[in-house]
Amino acid sequence: MDMWLGAGRELVAIPGPTVVPDRVLSAMHRAMPDIYAGELTDVIDEVFDALPGVARTASRPFVTISNGHGAWEMALSNTLSRGDRVLVLECGRFGTVWGEMAQFNGLRVEAVTADTGRAVDPAAVEEHLRRDAQHEITAILVVHVDTASSIRNDLPAIRAAIDAAGHPALLMVDCIASLACERYEMDAWGVDVTVAASQKGLMTPPGLGFVWAGPRALAAHQSADLRTRYWDWTSRTENGPYYLRFCGTPPVTHLYGIREALRMVGEEGLEARWHRHTALAAAVHAAVDAWSTPGGLSLHATDPAERANAVTTIRAGAIDADRLRSICRDDAGVTLGIGVGDVAGPAFRIGHMGHVNVPMVLGVIGTIEAALGAMRAPTGGSGVAAASAALADVL
Ligand SMILES: *Cc1c(COP(=O)(O)O)cnc(C)c1O
Pocket residues for ligand 1 (CB within 6 Å)? 16, 67-69, 94, 143, 146-147, 174, 176-177, 197, 200, 206
Strands 334-338 and 347-351: antiparallel
pLDDT at 110 over 90: yes
One domain, residues 39 and 185: yes
One domain, residues 261 and 275: no
Residue 180 is assigned to a structural domain of this protein = yes
One domain, residues 251 and 289: no
Res. 272 pLDDT band, cuts 50 70 90: very high
One domain, residues 190 and 295: no
**What pLDDT was estimated at residue 367?**
98
One domain, residues 324 and 210: no
Euclidean distance between CA atoms 276 and 268, whole angstroms: 10
One domain, residues 350 and 281: yes
pLDDT at 316 over 90: yes
Measuring from atom 6 of ligand 1, which residue has the nearest CA?
Answer: 68
* End position of a domain, from candidates 266, 283, 303: 266
Mean predicted confidence (pLDDT) in 300-324: 97
Q: How far is the CA of 351 from the centre of ligand 1 (A)?
A: 13
**What pLDDT was estimated at residue 372?**
98
Residue 16 is assigned to a structural domain of this protein = no
Residue 17 is assigned to a structural domain of this protein = no
The atom number, within ligand 1, closest to the CA of 71 reads 9
Range scoring the smallest mean pLDDT among 101-105, 209-213, 239-243, 328-332:
239-243
The atom number, within ligand 1, closest to the CA of 145 reads 13
The CA distances from residue 219 to 25, 138, 226, 270, in Å, are 39, 13, 14, 30
* End position of a domain, from candidates 239, 266, 293: 266
Mean predicted confidence (pLDDT) in 55-66: 97
Res. 239 pLDDT band, cuts 50 70 90: low
One domain, residues 211 and 239: yes
**How far from the centroid of its chain's Cα atoms is residue 152's Cα?**
10
Q: What is the 3-state secondary structure (H, E, C) of the chain?
A: CCCCCCCCCCEEECCCCCCCCHHHHHHHCCCCCCCCCCHHHHHHHHHHHHHHHHCCCCCEEEEECCCHHHHHHHHHHHHCCCCCEEEEEECCHHHHHHHHHHHHCCCEEEEEECCCCCCCCHHHHHHHHHCCCCCCEEEEEEECEECCCCEECCHHHHHHHHHHCCCCCEEEEECCCCCCCCCCCCCCCCCCEEEEECCCCCCCCCCCEEEEECHHHHHHHCCCCCCCCCCCHHHHHCCCCHHHHHCCCCCHHHHHHHHHHHHHHHHHCHHHHHHHHHHHHHHHHHHHHHHCCCCCCEECCCCHHHECCCEEEEECCCCCHHHHHHHHHHHHCEEEEECCCCCCCCEEEEECCCCCCHHHHHHHHHHHHHHHHHCCCCCCCCHHHHHHHHHHCCC
One domain, residues 299 and 349: yes
pLDDT at 240 over 70: no
**What pLDDT was estimated at residue 241?**
65
> Would the pTM count as exceeding 0.85?
yes
Q: Which residues contact 222 (CB under 8 A, 6 or more apart)?
A: none
The strand pairing partners of 13, in sequence order, are 336
Residue 6 is assigned to a structural domain of this protein = no
Number of domains present in the structure of the chain: 2
The strand pairing partners of 209, in sequence order, are 64, 197
What CATH number did the domain enclosing 290 receive? 3.90.1150.10
pLDDT at 342 over 80: no
Measuring from atom 5 of ligand 1, which residue has the nearest CA?
Answer: 68
Residue 1 is assigned to a structural domain of this protein = no
One domain, residues 152 and 297: no
What CATH number did the domain enclosing 147 receive? 3.40.640.10
Mean predicted confidence (pLDDT) in 295-304: 96
* End position of a domain, from candidates 238, 266, 294: 266
Residue 9 is assigned to a structural domain of this protein = no
Measuring from atom 4 of ligand 1, which residue has the nearest CA?
Answer: 68
**What pLDDT was estimated at residue 344?**
65
**What pLDDT was estimated at residue 130?**
98
Range scoring the smallest mean pLDDT among 66-75, 245-254, 264-273:
245-254
Residue 12 is assigned to a structural domain of this protein = no
Res. 242 pLDDT band, cuts 50 70 90: low
Mean predicted confidence (pLDDT) in 154-163: 98
Range scoring the smallest mean pLDDT among 30-34, 145-149, 304-308, 333-337:
30-34
One domain, residues 123 and 246: yes
Mean predicted confidence (pLDDT) in 343-355: 91
Euclidean distance between CA atoms 97 and 389, whole angstroms: 38
Residue 10 is assigned to a structural domain of this protein = no
Q: Domain range for residue 307?
A: 270-392
Model confidence pLDDT, tens digit, residues 221-230: 999 999 999 9
Euclidean distance between CA atoms 16 and 351, whole angstroms: 7
One domain, residues 48 and 90: yes
Measuring from atom 2 of ligand 1, which residue has the nearest CA?
Answer: 176
**What pLDDT was estimated at residue 387?**
98
**What pLDDT was estimated at residue 35?**
85
The atom number, within ligand 1, closest to the CA of 16 reads 1
One domain, residues 262 and 293: no
Residue that wins the pLDDT comparison between 162 and 345: 162
